């Protein structure tokens, strides 16, 4: 599988999210519950998501993932309970689009990591996954996931 990677500058993007810890086995349930809770909170505020749902991975420990699960929003929206306003920080990022099952995301991660190294850049350690279609309505082969690494500033 061949991947097209690119660099881009991101302006700060407000989000509404839940930060939690979970194992990779429980991830689908945890994410589904979080997206549902955030969507209900947005609706109660008369708002809707401003983009595709995402997960921000602070680590890659598959038994104890530290993740932020949420949606981009058009403006800062007050949180409630575990749902809190956050943001995707402004800065330089590298991205790749993966088409296929989530079980193959490691291939896209590898391609993006190699691309960043080839550019002489360094990832910050934060990895975003944006889920561009719904796994409950899409076959695994047609799933689209955009992986974005925040880069360290020079």
Structural domains present in the chain: 5-151 (3.20.80.10)
pLDDT tens for each residue of 44-93: 999 999 999 999 999 989 999 999 999 999 999 999 999 999 999 999 99
What phi-psi label fits residue 50: left (phi over 0), alpha (psi between -120 and 50 degrees) or beta? Answer: alpha
Q: Which of 123, 128, 106, 104 is nearest to 55 (CA)?
A: 128
Q: Which of 59, 29, 66 is nearest to 124 (CA)?
A: 59
- Tokens representing 49 are 């998501």
Model pTM score: 0.95
Give the pLDDT band of residue 33 (cuts 50, 70, 90): very high
Task: List the beta bridge partners of residue 121.
Answer: none
Q: What is the share, in percent, of the chain residues with pLDDT greater than 90?
A: 95
pLDDT at 154: 63
3-state DSSP call for residue 150? strand
pLDDT at 1: 78
């Amino acid at each position: 599988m061949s991947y097209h990677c690119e660099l881009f500058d991101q302006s700060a993007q407000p989000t509404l999210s839940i930060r939690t810890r979970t194992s990779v086995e429980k991830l689908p349930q945890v994410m589904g519950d979080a997206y549902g809770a955030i969507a209900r909170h947005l609706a109660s505020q008369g708002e809707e998501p401003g983009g595709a749902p995402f997960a921000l991975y602070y680590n890659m420990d598959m038994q104890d993932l530290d993740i932020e699960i949420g949606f981009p929003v058009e403006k800062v929206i007050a949180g409630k309970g575990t749902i809190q306003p956050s943001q995707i920080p402004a800065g330089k990022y590298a991205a790749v689009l993966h088409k296929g099952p989530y079980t193959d995301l490691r291939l896209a991660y590898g391609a993006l990591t190699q691309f960043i190294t080839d550019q002489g850049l360094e990832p910050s350690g934060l990895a975003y996954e944006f889920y561009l279609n719904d796994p409950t309505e899409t076959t695994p082969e047609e799933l689209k996931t955009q992986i974005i690494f925040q880069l360290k500033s020079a």
